[in-house]
Structure formats: structure tokens, C-alpha cells
């Protein structure tokens, strides 16, 4: 090998050594990035090198309520959305009434996937539950925490954290509260929790249980336009009513999901004559109409 070729080889080796040294230097200065590497999280970071400690934020299952009544107009049935407390309706020719206030509990939400499996929220809570209505002895009980207290003046609710993406075909939920939770020590809950004793829907005594439906009505605007009567339904009639609705869609991983739910109060109060029916009959009919009042919205 002549001297020219030897020098050329030396120059090439020097260049390779320099490049290799530069790469090694860069590698020694690089700090791995921690981030959420769970693809089901809303803050999934594909560029992260190492999984972070409890930094992942998972999507919520939300509820959008449409409050509706149906009236018979000149051209058939019209849907009145978000009706006011001064709106007057009629179930019978001589019975004109007003809905002044509505509150009710929803709980135990389930989405049925195409393979038949059940998807639920991840939220859980440990409640102090008394052994009986009269007992002072309580025990900690962990249950799914997906309770929602709906009022006519509110439209959007968070059900809970949801980590079960997939294709679903059915929605199930209960209007009311499981009877086993009637003896919760609600004074131990945060004021913002739906079952807190700060809510007017909280039970008066542990024996009576929760009020799971409440309607405030002017029963007859023709004879008593300012007299409001409150109808409260609890476990003395039926503790809860299950609703099953067809709901087809896809929940994408990493994104909040919303269930559009329409509540038709005309159907909920169907067949009731407030001028002639007694209180127990009215309450019984409200409960028997409950499941029919719900449908999937838009």
C-alpha cells in the first residue's frame, strides 16, 4: 500500500471515530422521558421512554340529559325540550297541571359489548353501612360509585372513569338506589357526593331509605294554581327500576364518551288524573311508568 492510500485510510478511520464518539456523547447526555404509556389513557404519550408513576388520566363516561315533554298540537305531537316550571300540560280534558320540579337518582350503569360482556366504570367507594336501620354498628363496604342525581335544571353529568373501549349494543341502568345501600352513613360523605346528607333527596331516617324519585307538581291549575304538592317515591313502593335500551356505537380508547339520554315526562306521568287519583295511586303509576320514560337521545 502506497503512502497516499495509507493516509486516505487513516483519514477515514479518524472520521468514523469522530462520528462514533459524537453518537456516544449524545447518548450519554440524553435523559429518558417519563410519560403515560397506557393507550387507554387520555394523556397517552407515544414518545415517552419510561412509564410514569400514577400519571395516567383515564377517560370518563358522561351523560347528556334531554328533558322533554310531548304535547298534542294542531299538527300532531310536538316535543318540548327543557320546558319551564310555568308550562301547563294536560293528561285529561279537565286536568291541567304543571311540573315545578323533578329529581331522581340513576345508578348501576352498564354497557353490553357485542361479545356479551359487561363494561362498567372503574370508580369505587367505601361506604360506612349500618347493619340495620336501627343499629349503631356499621361496617365498611366497597361498591361501584356511579351514582347520579338528576334534576330538571341540569343536563350534563359525569358517571365515572371508563377504561373499556369497544363496540357495544345495549345500555342498562337503574332509576333509584340499591336497597342494600339504604343504611349508608351519609354524613360521612363529601357534600358534593349525590348520596350526601346535604342533598334533599337523602333519606330522612335509615328505616325509610333514600327518596329515589321526587316530583313537585301543581295538580290542578284550574282550581289551585299556586298549590304545589310533592310526591316522593322510595323503597316503600319499589327500591329501583331497571331500564334497558338499545345503544349501538364504538368507544374509542383514550377519549371521553357521552351517552345521550332523553327523559320524556309525559310518558312518566301517563295515565294519571291528578284531580281524582289518590296519592298512593299517583305514586304507584309514576313508578310503573318509569322505564318507559327513558330513550336514547340524539
pLDDT digits (tens, 9 = 90+) for 102-128: 999 999 999 999 999 999 999 988 888
Q: What is the DSSP string of 51-102?
A: E-SS-----EEEEEEEEEEEEEETTEEEEEES--TT-EEEEETTEEEEEEEE
Spatial CA neighbour of 275 closest among 48, 95, 52, 84: 95
Tell me how crowded residue 113 is: count the other CB atoms within 10 A of its CB.
Answer: 16
What pTM was computed for the model?
Answer: 0.81
Euclidean distance between CA atoms 77 and 267, whole angstroms: 13
What's the pLDDT score for residue 74? 46
Q: What is the DSSP string of 20-50?
A: HHHHHHHHHH--PPEEB--TTSTTB-TT-SE
Top-confidence residue, 272 or 181: 272
Q: What is the H or E stretch that residue 281 is in?
A: helix 279-288
Averaged pLDDT, 248-266: 89
Euclidean distance between CA atoms 274 and 148, whole angstroms: 29
For 204, which DSSP code?
S
What's the pLDDT score for residue 111? 94
pLDDT over 60 at 33, yes or no? yes
Averaged pLDDT, 274-286: 91
What's the pLDDT score for residue 12? 55
The residue extents of the domains of the chain are: 3-51, 60-296
What's the pLDDT score for residue 75? 44
Averaged pLDDT, 42-68: 88
- 54 Rama class: left (phi>0) / alpha (psi -120 to 50) / beta: left
Strand partners, 50: 34
Averaged pLDDT, 278-297: 93
Confidence class for position 231, pLDDT limits 50, 70, 90: very high
What's the pLDDT score for residue 243? 96
Quick check: 60 and 181 in contact, CB under 8 A? Answer: no
For 164, which DSSP code?
-
Could you read off the pLDDT of 145-204 as tens digits, one per residue? 999 999 988 899 999 999 888 899 999 999 998 877 777 777 777 888 888 877 767 665
What's the pLDDT score for residue 88? 81
Top-confidence residue, 22 or 119: 119
Euclidean distance between CA atoms 293 and 106, whole angstroms: 13
pLDDT over 50 at 143, yes or no? yes
Strand partners, 73: 76
Euclidean distance between CA atoms 162 and 171, whole angstroms: 14
Amino acid at each position: 500500500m502506497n503512502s497516499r492510500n495509507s493516509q486516505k485510510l487513516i483519514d477515514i478511520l479518524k472520521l468514523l471515530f469522530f462520528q462514533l464518539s459524537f453518537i456516544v456523547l449524545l447518548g450519554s447526555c440524553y435523559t429518558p422521558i417519563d410519560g403515560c404509556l397506557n393507550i387507554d389513557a387520555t394523556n397517552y404519550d407515544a414518545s415517552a421512554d419510561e412509564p410514569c408513576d400514577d400519571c395516567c388520566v383515564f377517560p370518563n363516561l358522561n351523560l347528556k340529559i334531554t328533558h322533554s315533554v310531548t304535547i298534542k298540537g294542531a299538527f300532531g305531537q310536538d316535543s318540548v325540550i327543557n320546558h319551564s316550571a310555568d308550562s301547563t300540560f294536560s293528561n285529561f280534558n279537565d286536568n291541567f297541571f304543571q311540573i315545578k320540579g323533578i329529581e331522581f337518582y340513576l345508578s348501576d350503569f352498564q354497557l353490553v359489548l357485542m361479545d356479551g360482556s359487561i363494561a362498567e366504570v372503574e370508580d369505587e367507594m367505601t361506604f360506612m353501612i349500618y347493619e340495620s336501620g336501627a343499629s349503631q354498628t356499621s361496617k365498611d363496604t366497597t361498591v361501584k360509585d356511579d351514582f347520579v342525581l338528576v334534576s330538571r335544571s341540569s343536563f350534563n353529568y359525569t358517571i365515572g372513569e371508563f377504561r373499556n373501549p369497544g363496540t357495544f349494543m345495549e345500555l342498562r341502568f337503574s332509576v333509584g338506589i340499591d336497597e342494600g345501600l339504604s343504611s349508608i352513613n351519609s354524613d360521612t360523605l363529601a357534600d358534593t357526593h349525590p348520596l350526601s346528607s346535604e342533598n334533599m333527596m337523602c333519606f330522612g331516617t335509615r328505616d325509610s331509605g333514600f327518596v329515589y324519585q321526587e316530583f313537585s307538581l301543581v295538580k290542578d291549575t284550574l282550581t289551585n294554581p299556586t298549590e304545589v304538592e310533592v310526591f316522593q317515591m322510595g323503597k316503600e313502593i319499589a327500591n329501583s327500576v331497571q331500564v334497558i335500551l338499545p345503544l349501538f356505537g364504538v368507544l374509542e380508547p383514550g377519549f371521553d364518551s357521552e351517552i345521550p339520554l332523553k327523559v320524556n315526562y309525559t310518558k312518566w306521568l301517563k295515565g294519571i288524573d291528578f284531580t281524582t287519583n289518590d296519592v298512593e295511586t299517583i305514586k304507584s303509576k309514576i313508578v310503573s311508568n318509569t322505564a318507559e320514560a327513558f330513550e336514547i337521545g340524539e
